[in-house]
Amino acid sequence: MTSGLWQGAYLEVHGLTKQFRSTIAVNNLSFAAPPGSVTGFLGPNGAGKTTTLRMMLGLIRPTAGTATVGSVPFTNIADPARAVGAVLDSLSLHPKRTALGHLKVYAAAIGVPDTRAREVLGLVGLAEVANRRAGTFSLGMRQRLALATAVLGDPPVLILDEPANGLDPEGIAWLRDFLRSYAKRGGTVLISSHILREVEQTVDNVVIISRGSLVYQGALDALRGANRSRILVAASSPFGLANALVAKGITDAHMVPDGRLAVAGLTKEQIDSVARSAGIEVFGTALDSVDLEHVFLQLTSGQFAAQHAPPPQTYSPPPGYYHGPTDGVPR
Ligand SMILES: Nc1ncnc2c1ncn2[C@@H]1O[C@H](COP(=O)(O)OP(=O)(O)OP(=O)(O)O)[C@@H](O)[C@H]1O
Ligand SMILES: [Mg+2]
């Protein structure tokens, strides 16, 4: 079924904006998802992901801006089911129709042979339940059937809204392999999620939005690199050290449960130097690997902007944190 011309296209969004009465759901958003890769479209609940995808697919009209597939607006594509496969809302299924029956209806609608319906059931791992009524399917099976429906026309572009929802860990691993091989064939895959960890192993690039606006776009590896690993510092007075760092404009320092201070953005030598000038002894340091979820939360919670604001004058330990005679540092 795969044609020799099968290859993905750039998905591009320029200045996309959607206002619902007083709510600006998407605000002047621009990004691109390249072919041959999986792009994660990330943001917390309510960030504007579904609204953006709906505009890209021509399901709702943008207040401003454009979205194109290979430079063509989606609504102008002659044979959309063969160009773009999309899964947005949960699939509307006739509960009494079998999985195969459901797919055959769609296959007829887009003009692909019935044999393709069986083929895609195999692709999504539902071959064994081909003749079961879809009304008896679990959420994960419905997700797979939705995906099978989206790929019926063998489209080189896939747009999926929260495809990992309802999948168990094995299902998530299967989805990852499925999407990675799609991209490896040259396809363009854009998947949304509100959980970076859920798609971390699947995506090459990320587009992160918060409150309708872009906060980061680039390779996932670059996001890791841009947010250097933290250094965990055991010091005679972690609070004193935190205050000394804040006084130098370093606000990304916080206590971890074992009483050490986690500091980002400074080398071990720089931390030693700040500690020395504050009369604080450093007992030891250790490199901590990047917690991407922490980075994601920082980017989307408004703390990112706060990092560029003037630093607060004092450091407050997290509520309930123990700071007894030794400041909690094991000696
Ligand atoms: N039809 C609508 N009318 C009014 N407001 C809407 C409409 N659709 C979405 N919104 C608002 O737009 C904002 C973005 O919603 P959207 O569903 O795009 O977010 P999302 O990133 O997909 O969130 P989630 O992770 O929960 O799916 C929200 O504030 C939402 O309430
Ligand atoms: Mg959504």
pLDDT in tens, 35-60: 999 999 999 999 999 999 999 999 99
Please give the helix or strand (H or E) that residue 121 lies within, else none.
helix 114-123
Domain with CATH 3.40.50.300 in the chain: 11-222
Residue whose C-alpha is closest to residue 85's, from 38, 33, 147: 147
Q: Is 9 a residue whose pLDDT tops 50?
A: yes
Q: What are phi and psi of 208, to 5 degrees?
A: -115, 130
**Nearest ligand to the C-alpha atom of residue 49:** 1
Q: Side-chain half-sphere of 125: how many Cα atoms within 13 Å?
A: 13
Nearest CA to ligand 1 atom 2: 20
Structure tokens at 18: 């959607």
Q: Is 47 in the pocket of ligand 1 (CB under 6 A)?
A: yes
Is any ligand 1 atom within 6 A of the Cβ of residue 207? Answer: no
Ligand 1 mean position to 214 CA, how many Å? 16
* Percentage of the chain lying above the pLDDT 90 cut: 62
Mean local confidence (pLDDT), 317-326: 34
Residue 159 has pLDDT above 90, yes or no: yes
| Long-range contact pairs involving 224-229 (C-beta distance under 8 Å, separation at least 24) | 224/290, 224/292, 224/295, 227/264, 227/290, 227/295, 227/298, 228/264, 228/265, 228/290, 229/264, 229/287, 229/288, 229/289, 229/290
CATH 3.30.70.100 residue spans of the chain:
227-307
Ligand 2 centroid to 26 CA: how many Å? 12
316 has pLDDT over 50: no
51 within ligand 1 shell (Cβ under 6 A): yes
Q: Summarize the confidence of residues 287-301 as an average pLDDT.
A: 78
**pLDDT of 306 strictly over 70:** no
User: Which of 140, 142, 328 has the alpha carbon at shortest distance from 235?
Assistant: 328
Q: For ligand 1, is residue 46 a contact (CB within 6 Å)? A: yes
Strand, coil or helix: 37: strand
- Predicted confidence at residue 227, as pLDDT, reads 57
Least confident of 109-118, 236-245, 257-266: 257-266
Closest residue (by CA) to atom 7 of ligand 1?
A: 20
Domain 227-307 has CATH 3.40.50.2000: no
Please give the distance of CA 63 from its chain centroid, rounded to a whole number.
25
Q: Is 194 in the pocket of ligand 1 (CB under 6 A)?
A: yes
What are the distances in angstroms from CA 18 to CA 22, 59, 90? 11, 12, 22
Give the nearest ligand 1 atom to 26 CA: 14
Nearest ligand, CA 42: 1
Q: Give 162-205 pLDDT, tens digit per residue.
A: 998 888 888 899 999 999 999 999 999 999 999 988 898 999 99
pLDDT band at 6 (very low <50, low <70, confident <90, very high): confident
Q: Looking at the domain that runs over 11-222, which CATH code has it been given?
A: 3.40.50.300
Alpha-carbon separation of residue 152 from 91, 146, 155 (angstroms): 14, 10, 8
Choose which residue among 17, 23, 215 to substitute to test ligand 1 binding: the one with the highest number of ligand atoms within 8 A of its C-beta.
Answer: 23
Which residue's CA is the nearest one to ligand 1's atom 4? 20
- CA–centroid distance, 139 to ligand 2, in Å, is 17
* Closest atom of ligand 1 to CA, residue 212: 14
Mean pLDDT of the chain: 85
Please tell me the predicted confidence (pLDDT) of residue 91: 66
Percent of the chain past pLDDT 70, that is, above it, reads 87
Instruction: Give 68-98 pLDDT, tens digit per residue.
Output: 999 999 889 988 889 999 999 766 778 899 9
| Ligand 2 centroid, distance to 46 Cα (angstroms) | 7
Residue 310: the pLDDT is 34
- How far apart CA 193 and CA 220 sit, in angstroms, is 14
What confidence tens digit (pLDDT) does each residue in 208-229 have? 999 999 999 999 888 776 656 7
Reported confidence tier of residue 3, pLDDT bands at 50, 70, 90: very low
Stretch 120-146: mean pLDDT, rounded?
93
Give residue 249's pLDDT band: very low, low, confident or very high (50, 70, 90).
confident
Bridge partners (DSSP) listed for residue 20? 23
Task: Report the nearest-CA residue for atom 31 of ligand 1.
Answer: 46
pLDDT at residue number 290: 65
pLDDT of 303 reads: 46
Q: Which residue's CA is minimally distant from atom 14 of ligand 1?
A: 48
* 327, pLDDT greater than 60: no
Decide: 26 in ligand 1 pocket, CB within 6 A. Answer: no
